[in-house]
Structure 1
Amino acid sequence: MDRNRTVPEAEAPPDADTLTVADLSQLGFTAEEVAHLSTVRQSRHRRELDLSSIEVQRLQFLRWLIRQGRVGEYETS
């Protein structure tokens, strides 16, 4: 065994959000699989937007409650 030989570092896996259709095709995915993955990606993105919208609405409501004096700014219960 050659102790001076270096082992190449493993490449970092690509970020799933940046893979293109061409990338997926090169990785061996069929056109049907690529279409399914695209649908899943879009669905996930919509769900994330919905969640962030709900969170913003909750924060706006909490700010309103604080301004109305119904909830203390540092109330724990």
Structure 2
Amino acid sequence: MGDIIYGSAANTYSTLPIGVAGEYLGVTGGLPDWKPIASDMWVLGGNTSGITGVNNILGINMVSAAPTENVFQWLRAHAPYIRR
């Protein structure tokens, strides 16, 4: 219980066992795997009190201390123009 089933090759299914605390689901070589959180995550330091739902780490225009919009706001505004 808790395994992830994925297609590892044409007509081939594989399972990824459930991870452990301190890991996140990532991808290596095109296949899902569990990675330790510390290996790929950013650590915020200093004054982070300004991070809110509108001004957050998922921001666009990250060159400024206050991103102009976050990813979700951008997608909502541009979704009618995005085609599959």
Instruction: Give your verdict on TM over 0.5.
Output: no
Instruction: Provide the TM-score with structure 2 as the length reference.
Output: 0.20
If the length of structure 1 is used for normalisation, what is the TM-score?
A: 0.21
Report which of the two has the higher share of helix.
1
